[in-house]
């Protein structure tokens, strides 16, 4: 395979598998930074090997296996270096939890993404840090992409992520799905503001320089709708009425942010103040986007 083709395939698998890789590795190494580092190394290894070896039949399984092996090797080295009995016991515990599953079968490996979500949304973390950390670890967004979503500087988001990871490590926040009364108490932090609709982050569009891939989004929305009766709204990467219409063919709605900010910014004067064109510029874009969504719904009737 050509390197460019491999990079494109790795990028696609990254969107689908990043959260699962981080979640699975985190259960082994119990350190967020280390888990991200190992997951990234697995993707880099794929870019290096797949052009010569060919694309694996199951790329996600290959990456999951590679990342977990790296994590276990890291744990073993730490055990040998420090002669730590607790690391040895934990390694044995991991083997028991996995039940000896063949690591190349991802269906036989516990899916730890729910653990990851509860950790990111732990009430011991500030609310803004919970959202940023969830977008980073579960959504796979970069620091810059999260900053653009929050309309804040990249260093601000970087500090939120650093503080959140430090709090998880220093306070030893549990990496687990809570049970019983604890689950009841923790659910609001995870399900906050989700009673109205499911907001699907179109990762293919988060660069804010292009449009979300309507085919990929449509497949994801179909999967989501199989598990919930809530309407599904898609956001990120939607800039034009045509893009809004394409997304609305599968989703119940489209959330637009960057395009509106750009329209607003373009209407301001040299000192950043509103002009007579400001309201009209934003209103016209909203009307055009809404017409795109309505067009998709009318065509489906």
SS3 (DSSP) at 272: coil
Q: How confident is the model at residue 85, as a pLDDT?
A: 53
Mean pLDDT, range 128-133, rounded to an integer = 88
Contact, 164 vs 134, CB < 8 A? no
What is the structure's pLDDT at 72? 87
pLDDT value of position 283: 94
Beta sheet of 198-201, edge-to-edge order = 198-201, 232-235, 253-255
Residue 284 has pLDDT above 50, yes or no: yes
Residues 198-257 have pLDDT tens digits of 778 765 444 444 556 778 788 878 877 876 778 888 887 788 899 889 989 999 988 888
Beta bridge partners of 235: 201, 255
Q: Which of 83-92, 128-137, 196-205 bottoms out in mean pLDDT, i.e. has the lowest?
A: 83-92
126-142 average pLDDT score: 87
Rounded Cα distance between 207 and 213, Å, is 12
Q: How far apart are CA 11 and CA 231, in angstroms?
A: 28
Fold matches, 113-191 and 198-300: no
Count Cβ atoms below 10 Å from residue 113 Cβ, excluding itself. Answer: 16
Q: Domain 1-98: give its CATH code.
A: 1.10.1740
Tell me which CATH code domain 198-300 carries: 3.20.20.70
Distances (CA, A) of 182 to 179, 186, 188: 6, 6, 11
Work out the percent of the chain whose per-residue pLDDT is above 70.
82
Q: Model confidence at 99, in pLDDT bands (50, 70, 90)?
A: very low
Strand partners, 234: 200, 254
- Residue 82 has a pLDDT of 62
Q: Which residue has the higher pLDDT, 98 or 248?
A: 248
Class of domain 113-191: mainly alpha
| pTM score, whole prediction | 0.56
Lookup: tokens for 169: 């490590």
When pLDDT is cut at 50, 70 and 90, the band that residue 3 belongs to is low
Top pLDDT among 69 and 107 is at 69
Contacts of 77 (CB under 8 A, 6+ apart): none
Domain boundaries, the chain: 1-98, 113-191, 198-300
């Amino acid at each position: 395979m050509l390197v460019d083709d491999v990079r494109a395939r790795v990028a696609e698998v990254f969107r689908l598998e990043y959260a699962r890789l981080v979640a699975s590795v985190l259960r082994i190494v119990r350190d967020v930074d280390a888990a991200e580092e190992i997951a990234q190394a697995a993707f880099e290894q794929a870019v290096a090997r797949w052009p010569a070896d060919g694309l694996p039949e199951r790329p996600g399984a290959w990456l999951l296996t590679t990342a977990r092996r790296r994590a276990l090797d890291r744990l073993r080295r730490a055990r040998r270096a420090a002669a730590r009995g607790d690391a040895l016991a934990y390694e044995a515990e991991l083997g028991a939890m996995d039940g000896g599953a063949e690591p190349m079968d991802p269906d036989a490996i516990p899916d730890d993404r729910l653990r990851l979500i509860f950790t990111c949304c732990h009430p011991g973390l500030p609310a803004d840090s919970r959202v940023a950390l969830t977008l980073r670890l579960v959504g796979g967004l970069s620091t810059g992409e999260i900053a653009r979503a929050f309309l804040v500087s990249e260093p601000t988001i970087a500090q939120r992520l650093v503080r959140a990871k430090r709090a998880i490590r220093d306070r030893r926040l549990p990496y687990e799905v809570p049970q019983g009364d604890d689950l009841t108490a923790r659910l609001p932090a995870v399900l906050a503001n989700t009673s109205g609709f499911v907001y699907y982050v179109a990762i293919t569009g988060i660069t804010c320089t292009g449009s979300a891939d309507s085919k990929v989004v449509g497949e994801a929305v179909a999967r989501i709708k199989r598990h919930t009766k809530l309407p599904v709204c898609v956001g990120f990467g939607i800039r034009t009425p045509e893009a809004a219409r394409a997304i609305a063919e599968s989703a119940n709605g489209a959330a637009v942010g960057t395009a509106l900010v750009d329209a607003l910014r373009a209407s301001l004067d040299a000192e950043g103040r509103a002009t007579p064109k400001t309201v009209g510029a934003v209103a016209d874009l909203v009307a055009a986007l809404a017409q795109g969504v309505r067009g998709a719904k009318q065509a489906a009737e």
